[in-house]
Structure 1
Amino acid sequence: MTGKVIFLSHIHQESKLAVEFKTAIEDEFSGFVDVFVSSDGTSIPAGANFLNRIEQGLVACVGAIYLISPNSVNRNWINFELGAVWIRNAIDIASGKQPIPAIPICHSGIKPSALPIPLNNLNAIVGTEASQIESAFRSLQTAVGAKGRLKTDFDALAAAAILFERNYTLGDNIAKMMALGVEKNQRNVAIDFARSNANSSSITMNFADLDMPSVDEIIRMEKGVLKGIISTKINGSGIGFGSAGTRNIANLEVSVDPKLIIEFAEMIRNAA
C-alpha cells in the first residue's frame, strides 16, 4: 500500500458490498488512499499472516468504516476491529491529537438508532442514503487531507447498496423459509430438486406434516418479506401424534423460483 489507509471492516458474507465502497473510495481519493479490505485478495495476499496484516491496517489507517447489518453487529471480528480504533482514538485524544473518523455504515435492516453500545456513540450512517454516504465521504476527505468537490456518484453508490441489500436479505428470508419447512438432513434433496429444474420459472415443494406455527410463519412471509417471491397453498391438515403429545399439522405447498434456491443454497444448508 502506497497511500494513506482507510480500514474497511466487514464480515465475509458482505464482501460484495465492501468492494463497492472500497472501489468508490479509491476512485474518489485516487492517489491519496488505499482501502484495506481483508477479503479482496489484495490487502492480504495469499500466504501472508492474516492477523499481522489486520493489525498493520488498524495501526496505519487514517479512518475506519464498518459495514453493520443484523448479521454482523455482534460478530467478534467487527467488534475487535472497532475496539482497536476506539483505543487508538482514546490515546490520541489524551495526547492532544485528532481522533480518526470511525463510521458505521448501517444496511440490510439495521438503523443507526438501533445500534448497541458502543456503536451508537459513533456517527453512523444509512448505507442506502446518498446524502448520508456523501457526508461520510466528506469526513474521509478531511482525514486523508484532500480538498475540493467530491466526484462520486452517490446516487449510483446508494443504488448499488440497495441492490446488495435486496439480494442479501432475500437470501436470509429464503433460508429461513426453507428451515421452517425442510429438515436439515433433507435440504440437499430440495436443493438438488431445484438444480434439476433450474430452467423452470417455478417449482413447487411439498412441506409435509408441518406444525401450524411454522405454516403460519411461512404464510406471513408470503404476505410480507417474501411477497411476490413465493406462493403457498395448504393441502390438507390434521392432528399429528408424537412423544410430546398431539399437535395441529398441515401439508403446505410452496412455489418458488428454483434459481433462488440454487443461489442461496449455502445459506439454506446452514440455516438454524
Structure 2
Amino acid sequence: MSSPSFWRGKRCWLVGASSGIGAACARELARAGAQLAISARSQDSLDALRTEFSQGAQDPAPNAHLAVAMDVRSDESVAVAWERIREAWGGIDLLLYLAGNYVPARSWELDVGRARDILDINYLGALRTVSCVLPSFLEAGAGHIALTSSVAGLRGLPKSLYYGPSKAALTHFAEILRLDLEPRGLRVQVIHPGFVATPLTAQNDFAMPHLLQPEAAAQLLLRGLEGRSFEIHFPKAFTRRFHWLRCLPYSWYFPLIRRATGL
C-alpha cells in the first residue's frame, strides 16, 4: 500500500497510464491522495479511468485529476499536453514515464520501420516528455523524474531485438540525468521491472518466471518512488539475477543465456 502521507497533494503526471502498470499506478496514487494527470493515446480510456477516481473520492476538487490524451511520438502532441497540465496546475512534482511497446523478434526478422516505431515510443517519447518538464524543474530547483525501463535493457536477450536496445538507451539516459540533475535538487530514478502480465507480455511464447500482476507491480514501483535509491527493480528474486548476469564476461554470458533459454 502506498503511503498517503508521502503522496497526498503531489501533482503527478503519468505517461502511458491507460492500461497495465500505468493504470494500476494511477489507481493506487488516486487512493493515496495524489493529484493525477494521466496521458496515453486513447482519450476514451483515460476518461474512463478518471471517472473511477472521481467516483471514489468525496467532493473531488476541480482539476484534481486530468485526463490529457497525447501521442509520445509527436513533439507537438507532447508539448500541447504539457501546456494543458501547466495551465491547470502551474506545474508538477513527479513525471512518471510508463509508455512502452514491445514486439518479440529475432535478428533475422529485423525490420527498421518497426525498430524505429518502438524506439520512438520507448526512448524518444521519454526525451520529449522530459524536455517539456525539465525547465520548470530546474527553475524551481526541485522535481522528480522516474523512467520505466526493463531488465531487458540490462543485457542483450533473445527475442528482444527492438525492445532491449530501446530500454538500454532509456536506462543510460536516466543515469546521465541523475549525474547532471541531482546536484541541482532534482530526483531521478529508473525502474527495471521483470515480467508483468500485460497485453504486451501476452505475446511471449516462453515461460516468464515470477510473473507479476499489474497491481502488485504498481505497489512495488510506487514504494520504490517513496525511497531514495536510483534504481527500482522487482521482483527481486528475479531481477537480482540480471544484476549478476550484467557482471559476467561475454565468454560466460552467451553460453549461459543460450543454455537457459534454449534459443
The two structures have a TM-score, normalised by structure 2, of 0.32
Q: If each structure's helix is expressed as a fraction of its own residues, which one has the higher value?
A: 2
Tell which has more relative contact order, 1 or 2 (C-alpha 8 A, sep 6+): 2
Greater Rg, structure 1 or structure 2?
1
Q: If each structure's strand is expressed as a fraction of its own residues, which one has the higher value?
A: 1
